[in-house]
Structure 1
């Protein structure tokens, strides 16, 4: 393989020829076969021109070494998207579906320098106060509650019935959300994930978070929201809302995809038991495989060169969006010879450098406990359809299944409410349900709090 310094320009047949043609990273074609897409881009060198959505152009880094270089050099590659030249010049459609993930927000992800350090410390030090034993116990309770909702049916969609909801319910607890406010937040985030009236859902999420911040200003608790508020950085209400929104996004969508993608491996791949969940099968191994080869956020970490720069022979103009392909970098052919000797944690799924994911430890714990609980409660669970028929959600940023149907022996005695641990009596009724017998989206959190009195 050529070294980075040997790349003189795009070879014949690559997308950079023919007038600078860019490969589109949207639509079902990319979602169905991203590896083939990355292989084509590698022909161009360490990075290549792509189109994230109609009219939104960017550079995608597919080389592991080049990706690490960018992630670890914030002085040259900034994260503040107010540097985005094409957006500033009016060349980007303002109704583009990728803008919500790329436009500037006053949070630690989109800041640099001293401001980044201030916001980052507030987030990391607040998360550092989490009691992992408490998190673990709460994941077990949430998992038991969700499984209880579908176990009597003998079948489930492990996306909508489990992996999508579990991190939302867990984070509601970590943020200290009361019942009604937590229901509003889950409904808004679920609608954002599902693409249902995104503008209104985004407004509803912001309104819920402002309400949560106002509540914690007057009634602080033992939760991340209160700890952020008490941090010496003295975050304003607006800054509080933006840090909380960032934590929700970073703690729900990626965790959902880790759980689902690892369950797919465990239920289909013979290397991981192919549905036979023996003692020798480690959930951590399946998750590690996902983080290397099918990372939940496949392409993101948008950087902007602060001046024109060369990247291993490729010229990147100042203000150009430069995205890291975690999926392509992790599967860089130059790593194949050394994968057996590098650390299991050398993948880039959590990023690297000053902007590396601050919630890695709780995200891993939530994912592991959620999968272990499901497999322990439903030991004969298996895929409900052939793995080859599963489809993936279109979009340039994530690697996420549309659905993950599963079947298992029904649990005949469904527990509709949790035992009150003080007197052995039941602790309330089930949440409001829809025609399928599932709790409505707007009642998941209050339903859980009723089901299990903490």
Structure 2
């Protein structure tokens, strides 16, 4: 790795990443991103792309180059505030990529402080209680469509279950949780992102205010009480990150694995004695169709050399987990039987809860297949709709059919939200003056200020 101040000549060995920029949006990319990645690899491990119209970036499509970026925050820092000032204020990818003081978008001591609050709080969670909660919640959700004989497993199961897990872990009232997830999905899908950002932030602040007033045995309360003494604003941004990482990708992991199990002949007959296991399906999805396809943007502060190419300062370098994992240079033989994929990231910013996320997905899928053993896709696999997003590989629907079954009795105590005594409480709405103050702060964060 070489670096030099902006404008310095890096020599003939470092040709710049230039040429036609391939859009990571539109019908072609949404329908078949793997074909786009294959075409991009023709020019090496780095490719010039557009994340949105007029928003250039370098996409890292090679496995080795991706590892180098992820493990080297010195040359590839996560703070994108200088970049944010170069794009229009209504840029649709800003809410996802703008700097926030959280452990994903900071480095060094600041990153360690934020990450420690999360990892220490996660360590206090009882995995047996989480497992029981996931199993009971899965039964509760399946009961809602079990007698119907058909369902959209995306909206009715894969999206709903991570929401319940998040609200359980953070002692969050259900109405607040629903507004959080709706806001996050609108941000990722780039639907009125400024309003979605405001709606999500307001819901998170209501949760923080509730936990300041009534701390309990949940992650939000533990984070607020942590010796690092994060401010409400800092807690807000850690919760934003945990919500984004704990609901959207988890839903996509569950849905993408179910799609594979229900469409790939290698998994046919799994329930009736097939040799392929749910864990195998999860491994394959994490390798070849990871729920987060392109993210982890870094912003070199000066011109740097990577994989023999010169990258300009203050332009996003985005990791394509989907392309890097399927890099032909890595070889299929290296993927069989190991978990060296990059779906959870790598280096100092690797996902700190990857084991828990995998456990939730595994339980959710196993419970569903046990309850509905003749589950089948309701449409041909090639007709399944996909959401348009440069960041996620996410289905827009997963229709299925099955033989109707009777609901089962669930354990209600495990699906009730902690620290919300009966009758269920709602977080108090924020006063108007507070809402206005935070609205202006939201706009500043969104614009990278």
Give the TM-score range, shorter chain: 0.7 to 0.9
User: RMSD of aligned C-alpha atoms?
Assistant: 2.6
Q: After alignment, is 171-180 or 246-255 more displaced?
A: 171-180
CA distance in 2 between partners of 1:309 and 1:102 (Å): 21
Q: Kindly indicate whether residue 75 of structure 2 is the aligned counterpart of residue 76 of structure 1.
A: yes
CA distance in 1 between partners of 2:287 and 2:351 (Å): 16
SS for the counterpart of 1:136 is: helix
Identify the match of residue 268 of structure 1 among 263, 267, 277. Answer: 263
Cα deviation 1:369-401 (Å, max 9, x = unaligned): 100110011111111111121232111111111
Alpha-carbon offset, residue 259 of structure 1: 0.3
Change (3 A) 1:306 1:338: farther
Q: Kindly indicate whether residue 21 of structure 2 is the aligned counterpart of residue 27 of structure 1.
A: no
CA distance in 2 between partners of 1:277 and 1:195 (Å): 42
Identify the match of residue 399 of structure 1 among 368, 393, 400. Answer: 393
CA distance in 1 between partners of 2:291 and 2:335 (Å): 22
Identify the match of residue 389 of structure 1 among 362, 377, 383. Answer: 383
CA distance in 1 between partners of 2:210 and 2:332 (Å): 54
Q: Kindly indicate whether residue 206 of structure 2 is the aligned counterpart of residue 202 of structure 1.
A: no
CA distance in 2 between partners of 1:198 and 1:414 (Å): 39
Contact 1:48 1:59 in 2 (8 A): yes
Q: Kindly indicate whether residue 61 of structure 2 is the aligned counterpart of residue 62 of structure 1.
A: yes
- Correspondence list, 1:327-406, <5 A: 327-336=322-331, 338-339=333-334, 344-406=338-400
Alpha-carbon offset, residue 282 of structure 1: 1.1
Query: 1:37 matched to which residue of 2?
Result: 36
Identify the match of residue 296 of structure 2 among 286, 294, 301. Answer: 301
Question: Matched residue pairs, number?
Answer: 408
CA distance in 2 between partners of 1:139 and 1:401 (Å): 22
TM-score (norm 2): 0.85
Change (3 A) 1:190 1:82: closer
Alpha-carbon offset, residue 25 of structure 1: 0.5
Alpha-carbon offset, residue 234 of structure 1: 0.5
Contact 1:46 1:311 in 2 (8 A): no
Contact 1:275 1:381 in 2 (8 A): no
Query: 2:432 matched to which residue of 1?
Result: none
Change (3 A) 1:21 1:449: farther
Identify the match of residue 115 of structure 2 among 120, 124, 130. Answer: 120
Alpha-carbon offset, residue 275 of structure 1: 6.8
- Correspondence list, 1:94-113, <5 A: 94-113=89-108
Query: 2:445 matched to which residue of 1?
Result: none
CA distance in 2 between partners of 1:449 and 1:144 (Å): 23
Change (3 A) 1:419 1:390: closer
CA distance in 2 between partners of 1:70 and 1:167 (Å): 30
Contact 1:122 1:231 in 2 (8 A): yes
Contact 1:25 1:50 in 2 (8 A): yes
TM-score (norm 1): 0.84
- Correspondence list, 1:2-21, <5 A: 16=18, 20-21=19-20
Which structure has more RCO (C-alpha within 8 Å, separation ≥ 6)? Answer: 2
SS for the counterpart of 1:333 is: coil
Change (3 A) 1:120 1:277: farther
Query: 2:243 matched to which residue of 1?
Result: 248
Contact 2:387 2:394 in 1 (8 A): yes
Query: 1:222 matched to which residue of 2?
Result: 217
Cα deviation 1:198-232 (Å, max 9, x = unaligned): 43332222112111111111211111101111111
Contact 2:291 2:393 in 1 (8 A): yes
Change (3 A) 1:222 1:152: same
Cα deviation 1:324-362 (Å, max 9, x = unaligned): 111111111111164157x61100000000001112111
Change (3 A) 1:388 1:7: farther
SS for the counterpart of 1:152 is: coil
Alpha-carbon offset, residue 253 of structure 1: 0.6
Moved over 6 A (4+): none
CA distance in 1 between partners of 2:102 and 2:370 (Å): 39
Q: Kindly indicate whether residue 151 of structure 2 is the aligned counterpart of residue 156 of structure 1.
A: yes
SS for the counterpart of 2:273 is: coil
Alpha-carbon offset, residue 322 of structure 1: 0.2
